[in-house]
Amino acid sequence: MSRIAIIVLLAVPSLAHAQAEPVSFLNEVVPLLTRLGCNQGACHGKLAGQNGFRLSLRGYAPEWDHDWLTREYTGRRINNAVPEASLLLRKPLGEAPHEGGKLLAIGSREHRTLLEWIRQGTPGPKKGEAEVRELRLSPGSRVLGIGQEQQLQVTARFSDGHERDVTWLCQFFSNDSNAAAVTPAGLVKMVRPGETAIRASFLGQVAVVVLTAPYDQQVKAEWYAGRNNVIDDHVFKKLHDLRIPPSEACDDATFIRRVYLDTIGVLPTPAEIRAFVADRAADKRGRLVDRLLDRPEFVDFWALQLGDLLQNRKESDHDVRGTKGVRDLHEWLRRQVKDNRPWDQTARDLLTVQGATTEQPGVGYFVVTVGEQRDAHQSEVVASVAQTFLGTRIGCARCHNHPSEKYTQDDYYHFAGFFSRIRMERKDPKQGATVLAVSASDPNQNKNPVGVLQPRTHKFLKPQPLDRSQPDIKPGDDPRRQLVRWMTEPGNPHFAGAMVNRLWAHFFNVGLVEPVDDIRASNPPSNPELWKALVAEFVKSQFDRKHMIRLMVNSRAYQLASETKPGNDKERRFYSHYYARRLPAEVFLDAVSQATGVPERFDGYPVGIRAVQVPDPTVKSHFLSIFGRSERITPCACERNNDVTLPQLLHLQGGSTLPDKIRSGDGRLAALMNKKLSDRELAEELSLATFSRLPRPQELAALDEILAQNAGGNRDEVYLDYFWALLNAREFAFNH
């Protein structure tokens, strides 16, 4: 048979092909390209494409994809005469050079689908075609043994009500591949003890299943018996289910130091430590917590946290507020903390503010997040509000659909519509303050309609929350009020959950959801039942942050020792022990100043002001810079870096900060030396001032040995070195 005859026979569709079901470009071809990795950022899904071929990232713009596949370069990728010879097939089959390698096997379901689509004339997206609305992953969450496998099945429900198995078109991911590995076909294998979420993704929809493998170790029921409040019920149940033993309770000296640093950002004084340890009352820890919540340092410390969260900084040289505006907003935040304003009221006042910065400090939030953009909805305020108040990262959906959640580009611009009426009127410093104004709509003349234009589809999108409900915005209304109303409804878990998770991460050092501001269905909390209980408690308390702080630090879980035991030494997600962490930059500097008795000096501020009290994150301080203070450029929790770095160690051990403070004639050491204390008394005072505990016998023995070797020498120099060593110890630099 001639070559021409073979080609003709291949090109003539068989009766089976002619009767095949139509292949959906939207619901089959696009997800297939996603599963094969063709439209990922590392391949053809990046902005410039690759090797002359581009696709929208993960198929967020199917109409573009169809044009690029079938019409770009005169349609060279599709061979309508001989579909089998199409480059779209030959490259992934390995029959033509392809940097992505071989992705298809001849005769596979994926190959047959693409071939049939080409044979049918490469139909594109159809108007009114059924779209996926929900995914169901089965079997549900379950317990597996180490090495055990489980095949997952994904069912999609479409807008017309029909359902079908889309397992073969899904992408599968493991949130912790060290605990459980999953194949592209959805076969999961438990690798080691622990718990992780497996998620399936199909056309922007996500389904999640949690798989657990308990540790193979003996446990004792009494380990999980004690409780202080509802937190302990859920923490210790999870530990019991995973067969992870909790650590013992921390001692009183450890607790007072821990709760002081975590709650008010200062060290307890030696006198406070001695009194607390000597107190024999059973309720002394609870009473201590109540006192801390009423101290002025609590206001200073939590105003700093809110300043980080709300990006309180001088925006740029065009920010006519200057440092005064930063200080004004800081004072407003201090009042919120001092008055214990419910979080929903603070959010409402801030997000619906209007007027001049000189009269309404909250306008500064929009000065920073709107930046130089004329229209607020084109600025960072959209993503900032979602991340700050809902713990949801939607910034990526500004350009393409969210990579691991259901949020689309349309969802982003619907959300942006809530800010479509605000205008920032920036004035020259000589003309007055920046003013946030809300323009009124005119429904008769259709001037300034409520909503924004989607840049890709050019559709006008009205304001719509992320749950896609339809708010009723009247003519002349400020859409932001509807946004806040939706956000703060008791039934909206994201608003309450975002603050609960931040508070939990602050006190327990690891969020129930990590990253702390990335709450989504595909990133479930490590303890879902605890999450639900805390969110419900926050709502029930009418968004009282002080109530939640009291609940957390009074729990037995918070009061566990940081020392581990066999069986929990590698655990970092379920709170079997307190996770030690380096002190935040401002707290660390204040601790050094407090321990040495020598305050830090900040340009433009009175002597004696603590680093925690400084409102401006740009104030000059080498110490704060290298120890990772937040620059407040974004609302991301990652702005603050508590990692230990080499420059930090070099600064502590070789810099002038510690020696200058230790040697100061106005400092603690000089005052103690003037009191003519004994060696034991002096060692105790210095240990209490730094470690918040009395020195251990081996530490005293080492000090005595050094003093003996230096007999007849300069005793002051010994204690200068001793104090320097205490301040350089990890026990001082970390909360534990």
What digits encode the pLDDT tens for the residues 536-569?
A: 999 999 999 999 999 999 999 999 999 999 999 9
Q: Are strands 132-138 and 153-158 parallel, antiparallel or unpaired?
A: antiparallel
Q: Residue 638's pLDDT band (boundaries 50, 70, 90)?
A: confident
Helix (H, G, I), strand (E, B) or coil at 174: strand
Q: Taking 70 as the threshold, does the pLDDT of residue 7 lie above it?
A: no
Q: Taking 60 as the threshold, does the pLDDT of residue 8 lie above it?
A: no
Helix (H, G, I), strand (E, B) or coil at 636: coil
Amino acid at 257: R
Confidence (pLDDT) at 443: 45
Confidence (pLDDT) at 448: 60
As a whole number of angstroms, the distance between CA 150 and CA 139 comes to 9
As a whole number of angstroms, the distance between CA 339 and CA 399 comes to 41
Q: Taking 70 as the threshold, does the pLDDT of residue 206 lie above it?
A: yes
Tell me the pLDDT of the chain averaged across its residues: 90
DSSP labels, 189-235: EE-SSEEEEEEEEETTEEEEEEEEE--SS---GGGG---SSHHHHHH
For tokens 């609302």, the residue is 635
Amino acid at 43: C
Confidence (pLDDT) at 440: 72
* 518, 386 contact by CB (below 8 A): no
Least confident of 295-304, 336-345, 360-369: 360-369
What digits encode the pLDDT tens for the residues 388-443?
A: 999 999 988 788 877 777 888 899 999 999 999 998 887 666 656 788 988 876 44
Confidence (pLDDT) at 197: 93
* 512, 575 contact by CB (below 8 A): no
* 401, 65 contact by CB (below 8 A): no
* 349, 457 contact by CB (below 8 A): no
Q: What is the arithmetic mean of pLDDT over 64-87? A: 88
Of residues 142 and 711, the one with the higher pLDDT is 142
Cα–Cα nearest to 365, from 430, 319, 427: 319
% of the chain surpassing 90 pLDDT: 69
Confidence (pLDDT) at 319: 56
Q: What is the pTM of this model?
A: 0.90
Confidence (pLDDT) at 57: 83
As a whole number of angstroms, the distance between CA 323 and CA 84 comes to 68
% of the chain surpassing 70 pLDDT: 94
* C-alpha torsion angle, residues 724, 729, 733, 736 (rounded to 10): -140
As a whole number of angstroms, the distance between CA 558 and CA 555 comes to 5
Of residues 68 and 294, the one with the higher pLDDT is 294
As a whole number of angstroms, the distance between CA 237 and CA 244 comes to 10
For the chain, state the CA radius of gyration: 31
Confidence (pLDDT) at 428: 61
Q: Taking 50 as the threshold, does the pLDDT of residue 12 lie above it?
A: no
Q: Residue 10's pLDDT band (boundaries 50, 70, 90)?
A: very low
Confidence (pLDDT) at 434: 86
What digits encode the pLDDT tens for the residues 574-589?
A: 999 999 999 999 999 9
Confidence (pLDDT) at 220: 86
Least confident of 51-55, 211-215, 486-490, 657-661: 51-55
Name the helix (H) or strand (E) containing 413: helix 409-416
What digits encode the pLDDT tens for the residues 443-470?
A: 444 566 788 998 888 899 999 999 999 9
Q: Domains plus CATH for the chain?
A: 3-119 (no CATH), 132-213 (2.60.40.1080), 252-294+491-579 (no CATH), 342-487 (no CATH), 585-735 (no CATH)
Cα–Cα nearest to 125, from 47, 64, 57, 44: 64
As a whole number of angstroms, the distance between CA 142 and CA 150 comes to 10
Confidence (pLDDT) at 11: 43
Angle at 333 between CA 327 and CA 336, to 5 degrees: 150
What digits encode the pLDDT tens for the residues 144-184?
A: 999 999 999 999 999 999 999 999 999 999 999 989 999 99
Q: What is the arithmetic mean of pLDDT over 315-333? A: 78
As a whole number of angstroms, the distance between CA 552 and CA 559 comes to 10
Distances (CA, A) of 80 to 12, 21, 346: 11, 18, 62
